[in-house]
Structure 1
């Protein structure tokens, strides 16, 4: 994940402060599932400590790990886009402490304040684009005959 998608880099201080007023502390033991692909996306998290891995269901195989997330990174973007179903799964790779947010509350804040809403939408959009790119590369690495061919 690039530094432009972490909370500190993505949102101006006043928007971060507003968002953090609605944060709740959450923790997950190593191996705990945060959510499953296809379930309702009604919350999201920002990692404080530990590592969360995102995975994608692959029929007849174990889920493919797409990406690892750490400090300051957003876990979950599906809460922001209808129909609000998780597009990936997530699991705590190590013990995780995170800030948890209720999706309905944050979406309501975004509607009340257009500037805040645009900032959150830009952040979540960048995260979704980065995750799509990571998913593509990972799946090509796993299933294409010659890997992803990524030159970066």
Structure 2
């Protein structure tokens, strides 16, 4: 396989692992907190905004941080507000903008949900290790930097 084909193969493997993690995280978050992954990611994005010192985020920032469209973000914000996880209000600087803030309940949800995500990732990575399905990807996911990535071996017969 050429370099492009190898890259595409690795991307496909990473995508499959990502979907496994997302599915497991979705199941755990729904079971324990009644939330979907996109709702939890939105809360994390807002929390990261708070940590960065802004204290709040605009709807546009949230859409960019979650990778959702404006309309999907609006629906998401409505669900989070209805559950008491965020408050929204018009910006005093620009009445067309909506400012979003986390509630105390959202901070509790984040505290409880973060270990659930961690467990989902660890379980999938552990399964990859047991399967021995992709050692390079497994090293990458574990953050190993112990030496260079092995290069493919040229299997052509030596010239005489």
Question: TM-score higher than 0.5 here?
Answer: no
Which has more radius of gyration? Answer: 2
**Would you tell me which structure has more strand in proportion to its own residues?**
1
* TM-score, length basis structure 2: 0.30
Structure of greater relative contact order (alpha carbons < 8 Å, 6+ residues apart): 1
* TM-score, length basis structure 1: 0.32
**Would you tell me which structure has more helix in proportion to its own residues?**
2
